[in-house]
Chains A and B, each alone.
Chain A
Amino acid sequence: MTVPAINIEHLRKAYRSGTVAVQDLSMQVQEGDFFGFLGPNGAGKSTTIHCITGIATVTSGKIEIFGIDAVKNYREARRLIGLSPQEFNVDTFATVTQIVDWMGGYFGMNAAQRKSRVDMLIQRFDLTAHAKKQFRELSGGLKRRVILARALVHDPKLLILDEPTAGVDVELRLDLWRYLQELNAEGKTILLTSHYLEEVERLCRTIAVIAKGQIVRQGPKEEFFTTPGGLEKAYLEATGHRAEHAVAGAA
């Protein structure tokens, strides 16, 4: 049996304010999977991701990345992860090239490795004309591309994408979907959070739903389509909403 890409056991995260964002969360993401992590705003998706990547401290519980303890052996675990966060967390006065290049540097890539990888990603994400521009000068869609290029610079085995297509146009979204499918086909494990159910439906093979800091449903995508109403109805039921109310409210 292969070691899971992510193994979380009884994760609990309480903030200093006393708010418990995640409580007793356990889940596994298998190597090579395209994993959808769904939940309403404030359910604990980003907090869980922050705990996995080291942006947040873990109150209790265990997180392993390809079998490596993400707290005790954090340096070994982090070299395997690429993160595209929900919010832009960059030096906004730095140029596109600098942002991607520096990230490669933190991961120990030498100048030649960085040059080749940065050039490839800037070209892949259609950023060549903007390579020398400061981040703050870019549009929202271009900023999102830079963040994705930065996440991929060290060619991580595990890619974590927190709302990667929020605020981007249809063309980029479709292009990104194609690229993510290519990366997954090449063997990369991808964990994706999104509010676009269509996105999760199209890309993911396994889905977990989180509500109030706990996993309320998890399984292969097909299991979410066994009842009429498909993923949307299954999602709303799992998060404690009645589908009819939600539809009526939307209307």
Chain B
Amino acid sequence: MSDVTVPRHMGINWIGLGTIIRREWSRVWRVPIQAFLAPWISALMFIFIFGFVVGGNIRLIAGHRYVEFVLPGVLMLNVVNAAFLQSTSQIYFQRFLRYIEETLVSPLSYVEMIVGSLTMTIVRSVVTALGILAIGVAFHATHMYNIFEFLFWIISVSIVFGLLGIIIALWANNFEQLTMLNVFFIAPLSFVGGVFNTVAMLPHWLKWLAYANPFFYFINGLRDSMIGFDEAPPYLGMSVALALIAVLGGITWRLFKIGYGLRE
């Protein structure tokens, strides 16, 4: 092995990349209740109470039952949480227990480290989404208007919040700091981003908030892909998502390159 170079195809250490994913898969499966069951139960409660019980007394929205309208929002809410928690926990615990050093001393590139982390983030988000779709089936609320658009939103939003999670995990020096973004930014903005209501339901003076909120475009896009209902052009939302991926990806790569939060 000593004189054998690390096998790379197209310049990528695929086995190393796969090992990061295997390691993270193993870590997530140590806490399946926290990783998967908790968001599914949370989604079930949201769908049952807001969609089914409360929604039973709400008129149709653009020809769709309220539970069908709510499901994409609840799904997006949980995908965002799954992606953010996965990436923050994997990077922060590696720093906290110092086993980030295993990857730092190995012949992995920064891009391989980032892509490895993001791949597992996408996997966890997709599994979470599939479970919620299955719950929606039980309420006859799951529809698939455009599966390719659906996949675009699940994957792109996972990458956005996966990257954001990596940046926060590199910056945080304690568990309190780790949760700050979720408490003050992600949770409030996702709730006012149209999970439970249309923009038309908002008072006129508050509508600007929806259009200025990136979560609105994510939820709007996913809703369009599931029930064909949108309140803003999906391509505008897609541009927002892709721009965020480019900006956050660039910042993350730069932080890895200078060793911020990683190297002494």
Q: Do A and B bind each other?
A: yes
Residues of A within 8 A of B (CB): 15, 47, 50, 53-57, 74-76, 78-81, 83, 85, 87-94, 98, 102-103, 105-110, 113, 117, 150, 154-157
CB-based nearest A residue for B263: A57
Count, chain B residues at interface, CB 8 A: 37
User: Which of B66-74, B78-86, B96-104, B213-221 lines the interface with chain A?
Assistant: B96-104
CB-defined interface of B10-36 with A at 8 Å, one 1/0 digit per residue? 000101101110110011001000000
- Tell me if A91 and B107 are in contact (CB < 8 A): no
The complex places the Cα of A154 from the Cα of B108 at a distance, in Å, of 14
Nearest Cβ in chain A — how far from B201, in angstroms? 46
Provide the residues of chain A in CB contact with B1, threshold 8 Å.
107, 109, 113, 117, 154-155
Whether the Cβ atoms of A81 and B105 lie closer than 8 Å is yes
Residue of A nearest to B116 (CB): A106
Closest CB of chain A to B71's CB: distance in Å? Answer: 35
Q: How far is the CB of B81 from chain A (nearest CB, A)?
A: 23
Asked if residues A54 and B104 are in contact (CB atoms below 8 Å), the reply is yes
Residue among B27, B30, B106 with the highest chain A CB neighbour number at 10 A: B106
Q: A79-B5, A91-B23 are in contact. Are A106 and B107 (CB under 8 A)?
A: yes
Per-residue 0/1 for B99-130: is the Cβ within 8 Å of any A Cβ (1 yes, 0 no)? 11111111111000000000000000000000
Given contacts A57-B264, A91-B97, contact A103 B106 (CB under 8 A): yes
Residues of B within 8 A of A91 (CB): 23, 27, 93-94, 97, 99
Provide the main secondary structure of the chain A interface: loop
Bound form: Cα–Cα A87–B117 in Å:
25
Once A and B bind, how many residue pairs between them come within 8 Å at the CB atom? 105
Chain A residues in 8 Å Cβ range of B16: 105-108
* CB–CB A90/B106 < 8 A: no
Asked if residues A89 and B98 are in contact (CB atoms below 8 Å), the reply is yes
Q: Is the CB of B97 within 8 A of A106?
A: no
Q: Which residues of B contact A85 (CB under 8 A)?
A: 101
Asked if residues B104 and A157 are in contact (CB atoms below 8 Å), the reply is no
Minimum C-beta distance from A119 to chain B (A): 15
A110 to B18, CA, bound (A): 11
In the assembled complex, how far is the CB of residue B181 from the closest CB belonging to chain A, in whole angstroms?
Answer: 23
A52 to chain B, nearest CB (A): 10
Of the residues A107, A150, A155, contact of B107 by C-beta under 8 Å: A107
Q: Provide the residues of chain B in CB contact with A103, threshold 8 Å.
A: 102, 106
Name the A residues within 8 Å of B22 (CB-CB). Answer: 102, 105
Judge whether B6 is part of the interface by a CB distance below 8 angstroms: yes
Interface digits, B41-75 against A, CB 8 Å rule (1 contact, 0 not)?
Answer: 00000000000000000000000000000000000
The docked-state distance in angstroms from the alpha carbon of A91 to that of B97 is: 7
Q: A80-B2, A102-B23, A105-B16 given as contacts; is B102 within 8 A of A92 (CB)? A: no
Q: List 9 A-B contacts (CB under 8 A).
A: A54-B263, A55-B263, A79-B6, A91-B23, A106-B19, A106-B20, A107-B1, A108-B8, A108-B15
Q: Is B188 an interface residue (CB 8 A)?
A: no
Contacts of A47 in B (CB 8 A): 264
**Complex contact A54–B105 (CB within 8 A):** yes
CA distance A53 to B7 in the complex (A): 20
Whether B264 and A50, one on each chain, are in contact in the complex, defined by CB atoms closer than 8 angstroms, is yes
1/0 per position for B237-264, CB-CB distance to A under 8 A?
0000000000000000000001100011
Q: How far is the CB of A77 from chain B (nearest CB, A)?
A: 8
How far is A78 from B104 in the complex, measured between Cα atoms in Å?
Answer: 9
Closest chain A residue to B264, Cβ basis: A56
List 5 extra interface pairs beyond A57-B258, A81-B105, A110-B7, CB under 8 A: A54-B263, A55-B105, A56-B263, A75-B6, A108-B16
A155 engages B105 (CB within 8 Å): no
In whole angstroms, how far apart are the Cα atoms of A98 and B109 in the complex?
22
Nearest chain A CB to B23's CB is how many angstroms away?
Answer: 5
Closest partner residue, chain A, to B103 (CB atom): A106
Instruction: Give the interface centre of B6, B93, B105 by most chain A CB atoms within 10 Å.
Output: B105
Q: Answer whether A92 and B106 are a contact pair too, CB < 8 Å, given A108-B7, A155-B1.
A: no
Q: Which of A15, A75, A76, A150 is most buried by chain B, counting CB atoms within 10 A of its CB? A: A75
Task: Give the docked Cα–Cα distance between A109 and B13 (Å).
Answer: 10
Q: Do A55 and B264 touch (CB < 8 A)?
A: yes
Contact of B105 among A78, A90, A92, A108 (CB under 8 A): A78
**A75 with B102, Cβ < 8 A, contacts A102-B23, A108-B13, A156-B2 known:** no
CB-defined contacts of A98 to chain B, threshold 8 Å: 23, 26
Q: Which residue of B lies closest to A15 (CB)?
A: B264
Q: Which residues of A contact B30 (CB under 8 A)?
A: 93
